[in-house]
Amino acid sequence: MRLWDEELEAMRGEAREAVARTLPAMAEALGTGGPAPADPVARVKWMREGFAKTYAPVAEAEERRIAGVRCRVFRPQGPARAVYLHFHGGGMILGAPEMNDAANLELCRSFGIAVVSVDYRLAPEHPFPAGPDDGTAVAAWLVENAEREFGSGRLLTGGESAGGYMAAAVLLRARDELRAGRRFDGANLVFGVYDWGRSPSQRGIRPHEGPDLLDPEGILLFSQQYLPGRSEEECRHPSVSPAFADLRDLPPALISVGTTDHLLDDSLMLAARWAAAEGEVELFVAPDLPHGFGFVPCGISKRWIERTQRWFADILARPAR
User: Which residues carry out catalysis?
Assistant: 161, 261, 291
* Residue 63, beta-bridge partner list: 72
Helices (H), the chain: 6-10, 12-29, 40-51, 101-111, 130-150, 162-176, 216-226, 232-235, 264-276, 299-317
Task: Give the number of other CB atoms < 10 A from CB of residue 125.
Answer: 11
Helix (H) or strand (E) holding 285: strand 281-286
Strand 62-66, strand 69-74: pairing: antiparallel
Closest CA to 118 of 162, 81, 178, 172: 162
Q: Which residues have C-beta within 8 Å of that of residue 160, sequence separation ≥ 6?
A: 88, 89, 100, 190, 191, 192, 292, 294
Helix (H), strand (E) counts: the chain: 10, 8
Tell me the C-alpha to C-alpha distance, in Å, between residue 213 and each of 9, 191, 261, 293, 294.
22, 12, 8, 9, 12
What is the distance between the alpha carbons of residues 96 and 314, in angstroms, rounded to a whole number?
29
